[in-house]
Structure 1
């Protein structure tokens, strides 16, 4: 079934999945997770209400209760799972995808994610194969207020930003639910009302074209920093005062500036992370651990390691202080505290980021091609079998490391792409290596 992915259930609604699928997911979920209640939140997409109705009908027909928290950011659902001691939760969202998409992010007790290796494949088999037998005693839908306690949880992290000039892009998405409660009316806001059709731009700030307006706002407002959230506010990106997009894995180093002053320990990064970031973190006392891309993997590994925090190239930032989950708002509160601290010292965000960057980096390059496995095999043959690298990581595609450069190639878990990241000591070598890798990949178009 095309909507069941590695980390969640997601696709074009009424094409990859529909309300009948959602009903069955709701019906079998309490059995899968052995629970009597499911926290359910939803984003503002135009199809989310219909999905909520079908999901809730399935859950209650199974005999379990729905704890309805209404409109919610995805991290708010994680918070509610723990706060209300629920055995399961579902956020109805397609995160950063275009408006025609929707989906379901599922967690079990303590907000532990349910991914393909931890229940989603089993749930898919139930949906496809098991008969529906409606319980005589149906469950009920109970409304719960998660926003008030979630804001109370975030309150201690809110920094003094009175000396900062900040521009926000709320992307017409779920960031609108909390932003002004946390940051007040003083900052400049773009797209600060809900619209599930996302008329201004797609709610994916990792695509720099979607950051065009926030970049312009930072420059016209003479802001110290720009902040832009994705559709469900589990991810956040930043723009420096020069209007430059900050590659999200560099923000992991910014979080290190905050945390590593008071505590040394494990920090988690994904397999695409720049050496600029890992070297900065190591220099400041972190034991850096590299792991697979994706929240369903990162949260489990963070918990295993007892890591202080973690970060991904896609703009997910995970926190031990937040049940090992990701939160766009918590990340932005901490980054803004750092920006305020730097400003007191007369240091701009751009100059601080420039001290972190020690390598030329391609960012993530996407190739849409059919023969992804053959392309990866060809790269392995050329750069591992023939060239004998210093190090090979093979748990999420390949990260192949040489003394002055490295690359990671991996298949996307959510989209039909082969993704490539290249980094080198100089721009010249970066161009040379990227051209060589691209030439091999394009043979399999």
Structure 2
């Protein structure tokens, strides 16, 4: 399996190279892996317009099975399939749920129907307010096994011997588990995406509001 990693001139390259370079079943290619606080390649946020272009080009050039791009500190990750096409976070969430087989999961309010539909499969799904603080807090409260957020955050419950579970969000761990999941598929990530029910995704829409206090002016929020 061949994977291209775009580290966005952040810190993930240092860790990833130690984790996976000795894996003989994995061929890796790194771009923008030199740490540079000026972020000369495309900025530290992979969700900004144009940030994926270098990775898409590299995936096609290297004929890779997967591309992964991290934000500067490595807690978020987005994916490109073997055809150089962006894969929505809901699809990756669905893939990881299939692979990890959690019993309880938490997703944020922006997550789409593709994940919410899984409640029909004896999976306990809880909706959280967006934001890693709120998702981790809720995961800890209900003892969830996995969490996913539209922003590219993926959350894991890590259990060490004789210790309480740790609830972490990690782009690196999400990428490793995505690689493990894809390696189990009898087809490509692009085919996996095509086999899923298709629906319209608008992407995140931000609305500017002026001088609205949620506590004292809730009706104004409803109007928006």
Q: TM-score range by the shorter chain?
A: 0.7 to 0.9
Distance in 2 between the 1:242 and 1:292 partners? 33
Instruction: Show the 5 A alignment for 1:5-404.
Output: 164-184=1-21, 186-260=27-101, 265-279=103-117, 281-321=118-158, 323-342=166-185, 345=186, 347-370=187-210, 377=219, 380-381=222-223
Residues 165 and 208 (structure 1), Cα distance of their counterparts in 2 relative to 1, 3 Å cut: farther
Q: Which consecutive unaligned segments of at least 5 residues does structure 2 have?
A: 160-165
Q: CA deviation at 1:358?
A: 3.4
Equivalent pair of 2:212/2:221 in contact (CA under 8 Å): no
Q: CA deviation at 1:369?
A: 4.3
Distance in 1 between the 2:150 and 2:110 partners? 7
Residues 372 and 364 (structure 1), Cα distance of their counterparts in 2 relative to 1, 3 Å cut: farther
Report the equivalent of 2:163: none
Distance in 2 between the 1:208 and 1:252 partners? 22
Distance in 2 between the 1:215 and 1:330 partners? 21
1:206 counterpart SS class: coil
2:105 counterpart SS class: strand
Distance in 2 between the 1:283 and 1:271 partners? 18
Equivalent pair of 1:167/1:187 in contact (CA under 8 Å): yes
Distance in 1 between the 2:82 and 2:122 partners? 28
Distance in 2 between the 1:367 and 1:273 partners? 18
Q: CA deviation at 1:361?
A: 1.1
1:209 counterpart SS class: coil
Residues 369 and 378 (structure 1), Cα distance of their counterparts in 2 relative to 1, 3 Å cut: closer
Equivalent pair of 2:3/2:64 in contact (CA under 8 Å): yes
Equivalent pair of 1:208/1:245 in contact (CA under 8 Å): no
2:94 counterpart SS class: helix
- Higher RCO (C-alpha 8 Å, min separation 6): 2
Cα deviations by residue, 1:349-384 (Å, 9 ceiling, x for unpaired)? 012123334321101022344356699846735xxx
Bigger Rg, which one: 1
Residues 196 and 274 (structure 1), Cα distance of their counterparts in 2 relative to 1, 3 Å cut: same
Q: Which structure has greater helix proportion?
A: 1
Residues 354 and 225 (structure 1), Cα distance of their counterparts in 2 relative to 1, 3 Å cut: same
Equivalent pair of 2:212/2:220 in contact (CA under 8 Å): no
Q: CA deviation at 1:190?
A: 0.6
Distance in 2 between the 1:349 and 1:337 partners? 12
Report the equivalent of 2:162: none
Equivalent pair of 2:108/2:148 in contact (CA under 8 Å): yes
Q: CA deviation at 1:297?
A: 0.9
Distance in 2 between the 1:333 and 1:268 partners? 20
Distance in 2 between the 1:338 and 1:372 partners? 45
Distance in 1 between the 2:74 and 2:208 partners? 27
Q: TM-score, normalised by structure 1?
A: 0.45
